[in-house]
Amino acid sequence: MAGDTSGMKHACGVFGCVSAGQWPTDLDVANVICLGLVGVQHRGQESAGIVTSPGDDKGKVHSHKGMGLVNQVFRDEATMSKLKGNLGIGHTRYSTAGGSDITNCQPFTVETLHGLISVAHNGELVNANPLKEKVLRHGTGLSTGTDSELITQLLCLPPPEIETDGPNWLARIKQLMSYAHTSYSLLVMHGDCIYAIRDPYGNRPLCLGKLLQVDKEEGHSVEPEGWVVSSESCSFTAIGAKYHREVIPGEIVKITQSGIKSMCVIPRPDSHPSAFCIFEYVYFARPDSIFEGQSVYAVRYRSGRQLAKEAAVKADIVSTVPESATPAALGFAKESGLPYVEVLCKNRYVGRTFIQPSTRLRQLGVAKKFGPLTDNFQGKRIVIVDDSIVRGNTMGPIVRLLKNAGAKEVHIRIGSPPLRHPCYMGINIPTKEELIANKMSLDKLAKHLGADSVVYLSVEGLVEAVQSGVEKLTEQNTGHCTACLTGKYPVELHW
């Protein structure tokens, strides 16, 4: 990811798999899920967990969760061998609601009158407090501070229209969605199936894939070996799965060994447009993921072209802070007619938790992470394209690094509008007071960063770059949440 997004945490990642054909299966479901979680590791790096089930009526599940990256939590064969089953779900987490602690690791599994259910969740409930009170008044205790546990307990509340001795999980999910309109992409595992659920506003992504079985003699795909569901389609390639489609906003999809079945679509209140998070395109998602029928890479490239139209500048070269803003920088270079040249070499072995034991080492943080490719830019005017600025802690040192290495001018161009408002739907963006766009004008920001100029992409320009590639865009069925940019939230916030 690019450099100047300090303080902004990603959403979580979910992944599920159901084996096709006869059970017990030869498909190693746990390893498929593990590889799938690695594919969405960028969405959460605090903890990871997998729950698998044989899918029979005995109600037994196997679970393993831990703090750290997926490959750290599932690092040996002994751990993986215990996760037997014909279906399962997994989760990789960044904390928004609830702290960074082992008790908050997902998936959550609880025992109900109708057997065990396991839940993995990406998002954040905007009305969590009144829902928490509803659960507590029902006599149910909560052991964590996460929305995911709250969702799990809400699913256990019987809807009034069904008998309490009948499971009817579809009715329970519908009831949950009537209580909470956003924000969640959910996987709910019970018995022999996984329910894949996306909130009516479609704020967080969720997509379906077909796990293909390869004919060893012919070398081509034959009957599906299983079905997978993921926060992002980028996780499908590594497991040999083919992208099928997105779960549409408000849809409840049931996945079993026989395939994928859409159960229903819950409408939004007052036919409100959907509100997919526009920052998934800007920063959070991997560029090889597909949303709304278009690749994230293509959107970032168009954003860069639009930025060049809105914020042209006399310069010699265009470059970027490696690496999520690279498509935008390439688009800017194409539109402006300037050459794209790399000016920074990234040290990939310096992580976010690198020990900084002294003031001097903290001041050299950027120098530890990036090395200037001096011969490429000495004496030249550089346009540096980045995807966003949050607190502004990283871009200033990068500008100084480039100028100290011989850059004549450094002009900053940002492939998204200024971040001015917190997100309450699953992204941990700093408070309004911490966001640098709220503290100073563009001229003052440029002076603060040591740059010759700073210009952001307009909100209208970003929306155009996104929506110009969306399939079947209509006023009522496709929209985008720009709350962190405009302060216009798609739903009422509850405190």
- Measured over the CA atoms of residue 388, residue 391, residue 394 and residue 396, the dihedral's sign is positive
Residue pair 11/204 in contact by the 8 Å Cβ criterion: yes
- The whole-number pLDDT of residue 2 equals 47
Q: Is 207 annotated as a binding residue?
A: no
- The whole-number pLDDT of residue 352 equals 44
Residue 34 among the catalytic residues? no
- The whole-number pLDDT of residue 94 equals 80
Pick the catalytic residue: 12, 17, 105, 193?
Answer: 12
Secondary structure of residue 421 in the 3-state scheme: coil
Residue pair 84/62 in contact by the 8 Å Cβ criterion: yes
- The whole-number pLDDT of residue 165 equals 55
| Helices assigned H by DSSP within 215-295 | 279
Q: Is 386 annotated as a binding residue?
A: yes
- The whole-number pLDDT of residue 164 equals 53
Alpha-carbon radius of gyration of the chain = 23
Q: What parts of the chain have a pLDDT lower than 50?
A: 1-3, 6-7, 352-357, 475-476
- The whole-number pLDDT of residue 355 equals 39
Q: Is 423 annotated as a binding residue?
A: yes
- The whole-number pLDDT of residue 272 equals 83
392-451 residue pLDDT tens? 888 999 999 999 999 999 999 999 999 999 988 888 777 888 899 999 999 999 999 999
DSSP symbol at 102: G
- The whole-number pLDDT of residue 359 equals 52
- What is the pTM for the complete model shown? 0.91
Q: Is 277 annotated as a binding residue?
A: yes
Closest C-alpha among 173, 23, 146 to residue 88: 23
Distance CA 398, CA 403 (A): 9
- The whole-number pLDDT of residue 312 equals 97
Distance CA 316, CA 318 (A): 7
**Which residues share a beta bridge with 19?**
226
Distance set, CA 351 to CA 12, 243, 401 (Å): 19, 31, 19
Dihedrals φ, ψ of 251, to 5°? -85, 145
pLDDT above 90 coverage of the chain, percent: 68
- The whole-number pLDDT of residue 10 equals 53
Residue pair 47/102 in contact by the 8 Å Cβ criterion: yes
Element (H, E) at 116: strand 115-123
Q: Is 118 annotated as a binding residue?
A: no
Burial of 387 (0-12, 13-18, 19+ CB in 10 A): buried
Domains of the chain, start order: 13-272 (3.60.20.10), 301-462 (3.40.50.2020)
